[in-house]
Structure formats: C-alpha cells, structure tokens
Amino acid sequence: MDAALDRIYRIIRYILDDIFGNLASIGLLFGTLFAIFEVVRRYKFGVVYEWGQDFVIYMIIGSVFVYFAVTQAKRAHLVMSAFTDLLYGRGYEKPVIFLRMCVSAFSLFFFTYFAYWGIPTVERTMLTGRTSQSMFLLLWPFQACLLGAFVLMALVTVFHLYQDVRALMGKKVFTWAPAEIHTDI
C-alpha cells in the first residue's frame, strides 16, 4: 500500500508543482502587469477599465490561494517551531511527530470544512449570476478557484496525515517529500 500511495502522491505533487504552481505564478504575474498597465492608463491618459481593479484583486488573490496548495504540499509554510524544536532537541521525537499529526488532522478538518461549505456557495453564486462590484465580472469563477485551492490543500493533507501516522508507527514513507520542510519565523 505504501508503494501505491507513494506513486499517487508523486503524480499529485507533479501536477501541483509543475502545473498549478506555474499557473499560479503566471496568474500573479499577469495580475501585476495588468495593475501596472491600469496605473499607467489612469495617470497618463486619465482612463481606466471599470472592471480593472476587480480583475486585479481576484486574479492576485486566486493565484495566491492556488499557490497556497503548492506550499502546503511542500510543507513550506510558516511555522512557529520553537516548542517542537525544543522537544525534538531533548529527544522527544514521538511527541513531536504526534503534535505534527494533530496539526495535520486539524488542517484536514479545516480544509475539508471550507470545501464542503464552499460547494453550495459556488453553486448559489453561479445560479444567481452575482457579479463583482463593477458589475462586469462574474464571482463564481473566483469562488471556484478558491474552492479548488481548498480541495487541493485537503487532498495533500490526507497524504501528510498518512505520512505522520506512519512516522508515529516508526515507518518512513514519502522519503522524497520530507515532513520537516518549513520556513521558521
């Protein structure tokens, strides 16, 4: 089972890192370039697209949330690890793994909760045809992007939880995807 899950997780990580990561980067770049274009248009020519600000906001926020899924998969998120580093340094490896497992379980609950309640929200927004403040852009594609990001984060967290449970049992899985990559603050 470990080998099959390893293969599935490698495929998911490839899709996340190489496809969604690049799409998020392109979306962020495009949103930023469009914002610069709008600034030049406003102050040089005195005109703007009425929907420009909404487009930039939704493009950048959507791209950031999609990239959250990529950083979640890499466990490259910000961590306050002083307490766990202290425990780990004193030889309490199992309690640290257990704490990491608890965080993975809570994260899975959190992401799944948002995804579960996000589905009817996107459906309702789609059916009512709600638009942005400029009344030009439909809101449901933006909400669907956020919902997709939460679904991806929940999916990745399932693999993290499996990795943590197996580590608590003394077995290393997904050795190519270490569980302790993070940015300390």
Query: Per-residue pLDDT tens for 31-66?
Result: 999 999 999 999 999 999 999 999 999 999 999 999
φ, ψ at 134 (rounded to 5°): -75, -10
Report the predicted TM-score, pTM, of the whole model to 2 decimal places. Answer: 0.86
Residue ranges in 41-139 assigned as alpha helix (H): 52-74, 82-89, 93-128
Question: What's the Cα-to-Cα distance from 90 to each of 83, 84, 87, 96, 184, rounded to whole Å?
Answer: 11, 10, 5, 11, 19
Residue 126 has pLDDT above 90, yes or no: yes
Query: Per-residue pLDDT tens for 129-164?
Result: 999 888 889 999 999 999 999 999 999 999 999 998
| Contact (Cβ atoms closer than 8 angstroms) between residue 24 and residue 146 | no
Alpha-carbon Rg for the chain, nearest whole angstrom, is: 20
Query: Per-residue pLDDT tens for 67-83?
Result: 999 998 888 776 667 77
CA distance 134 to 137: 7
Mean pLDDT of the region 4-14 = 93
Q: Kindly report which listed range (27-36, 94-103, 110-119) carries the lowest average pLDDT score.
A: 94-103
Of 79, 78, 66, 77, the C-alpha closest to 17 is: 66
CA distance 85 to 185: 13
Residue 88 has pLDDT above 80, yes or no: no
Task: Quote the pLDDT of residue 185.
Answer: 46
